[in-house]
Amino acid sequence: MNRRTVLAGVAVLVTGLTLAGCSSSDDKPDLKVTGAFMPQPASDMAAGFLVIENGGTADRLTSVTSPISDDVTIHETKDQAMRMVTSFDVPANGELRLERGGKHIMFMQLKERPRQGDKVSVELHFEKADPIKVDLPVKESTYNPKKQ
């Protein structure tokens, strides 16, 4: 490859990146969080639920952090038992649903016990996309948006 070819290649790359930044991006995840909540906890453990909509390419939710707990993990429920997982798929042009009876965020050893009406801030970390900060409104302990 001669020098001219290399320069042409760089120009194409730069142009490509600029376009990706302006478009709604077909080549990276495009994530939006909806329906987030935390049922008011009855002990020093709490769960969090939300939906991550993805209008772009596939990504993975890899971890969650929160000032309310130093022990936040992601769990799925199989055969009525919870188990910790290392990541959840956020499918391309699809959604990841964390909901009652299924996948959820697990907060252990709460530093304080949030009450209905409070907000708990969390940061979602992804394999590709930038972290997203979300406030989980604390709802009554039996709250389930599916049953509204």
Please report how close the Cβ of residue 48 comes to Cu ion at its closest, in angstroms.
Answer: 10
Cα–Cα distance for residue pair 24/56, rounded to 1 Å: 8
- Least gap, CB of 46 to Cu ion (angstroms): 10
How far apart CA 127 and CA 37 sit, in angstroms, is 23
- Cα(121)–Cα(118) distance, integer angstroms: 10
Comparison of 45 and 92: residue with beta carbon closer to Cu ion: 45
Give the nearer residue to Cu ion in terms of CB position, either 72 or 129. 72
Contact status: 82 vs Cu ion (CB under 5 A): yes
- Answer for the pair 39, 46: CB distance below 8 angstroms, yes or no: yes
> Which residue lies nearer to Cu ion by CB, 54 or 103?
103
Q: Does 103 bind Cu ion (CB under 5 A)?
A: no
Residue placing its CB nearer to Cu ion in the complex, 57 or 73: 73
CA–CA–CA angle 34, 129, 48 (5° rounding) = 35
Cα separation of 78 and 55, whole Å? Answer: 28
Q: Which stretch binds Cu ion (CB under 5 A): 10-18, 23-31, 63-71, 98-106?
A: 98-106
Q: What is the DSSP letter of 8?
A: H
Site string for Cu ion, 52-81 (x = CB under 5 A): -----------------------x------
Phi and psi angles of residue 101, each rounded to the nearest 5 degrees, phi first: 85, 0
Q: Does 106 bind Cu ion (CB under 5 A)?
A: yes
Q: What residues line the site for Cu ion (CB under 5 A)? A: 75, 82, 106
